[in-house]
Structure 1
Amino acid sequence: MFDEKDLMKNPFQTNKKFQENMMDLMKEESEFERIVKLLTIPAKSGIYLSKIDIKRIGYTIGVDVPVRERREMLKDIFYYSKQMNAMETFLDNLKKFVEDKIYQYRELSESFPKTANIIQEWINKAENLIRLIERMKNELKTLGNIY
């Protein structure tokens, strides 16, 4: 009755083949793409990186990234920082940005104690992001010694 290709065009169909293909697409996502995605989803990272924030972080390594979608801007900064051997500086500046956000969250929590539980969730996510950035820096140092 329905051609399987037609079913694949409709994402609302609950079709096993469609679900399998979507899972394959998700698996193909690289670690780099997952990191960029994490940085642009506040519910996962605990912070919001605006386009101007991304530009400012880029300026710290001498990159004037054009304004466009935030993911694309971050990809550009990662690319240029690698090309310019400034990845560690970029990661340090990104970590500093996250630490500043955590400081702001703590101030909000103290000023508005009834929001402390909600804000603590954002702090926890941001602290996890800092740990990820630290792991990236350590991997960078390890790989830098190999290459």
Structure 2
Amino acid sequence: MDEKKLSSNPFMTNMKFLENVQEGTEFERILKILTVPSKSGIYISRYDIRELGKSLGVQLPVRERKEMLKDLFIYAKQMDNLKGFIDLLISFVDHRISQYRELQERYPKSSSLMEKWVKKAESLKTFLENMKKEVDIYRNI
């Protein structure tokens, strides 16, 4: 891929991929899972998403969280680093789980409440790990 073209606008060079990203698709479902705390067990803020972007080497404009994540997925796919991006997401989820565990230790009365969030976050981690295994299958999208 032409590096100059990619660095000028890294999110719009893979039009075939963007055409497949429509409402109701599997990709939209993944974005919804990641951005809805009651589904994922974690909250990913705009700041967190920007930091994930920096780890990938891209400066993201601040927008709706779902759109920012979509941009990161597209960028990671174009840079052939989707597995690396998913690894970053898994590390982020691990960090949140460790924060929940710390809260459970500090505030034992909140343990049962925190355990529900831990279970959801662990389910998200499993989901992301499975998604990472399937990346090669979706390379031609």
TM-score bucket (shorter structure): 0.7 to 0.9
- Residue 44 of structure 1 corresponds to 39
2-structure distance, mates of 1:105, 1:113: 11
Q: Report the residue type matching 1:140 in the other structure.
A: V
1-structure distance, mates of 2:131, 2:53: 18
Distance 1:76 1:125, change over 3 A: same
Task: State TM-score, norm by structure 1.
Answer: 0.77
- Residue 68 of structure 1 corresponds to 63
2-structure distance, mates of 1:74, 1:142: 21
Superposed CA offset, 1:39-98 (max 9, x none): 111111000000000000111111111100000000000001000111111000010000
1-structure distance, mates of 2:77, 2:138: 12
Matched, 1:81 2:76: yes
SS in 2 for 1:114: helix
Unaligned stretches of 5+ in structure 1? 1-27
Task: State TM-score, norm by structure 2.
Answer: 0.80
Structure 2 residue corresponding to 1:125, chosen from 120, 123, 127: 120
Which stretches of structure 1, 4 residues or more, deviate above 3 A after TM superposition?
A: 141-144
Higher relative contact order (CA 8 A, sep 6+): 2
Query: What number of residue pairs does the alignment pair up?
Result: 119
Matched, 1:107 2:102: yes
- Give the percent of matched residue pairs that are identical in Structure 1 and Structure 2: 50
Unaligned stretches of 5+ in structure 2? 1-22
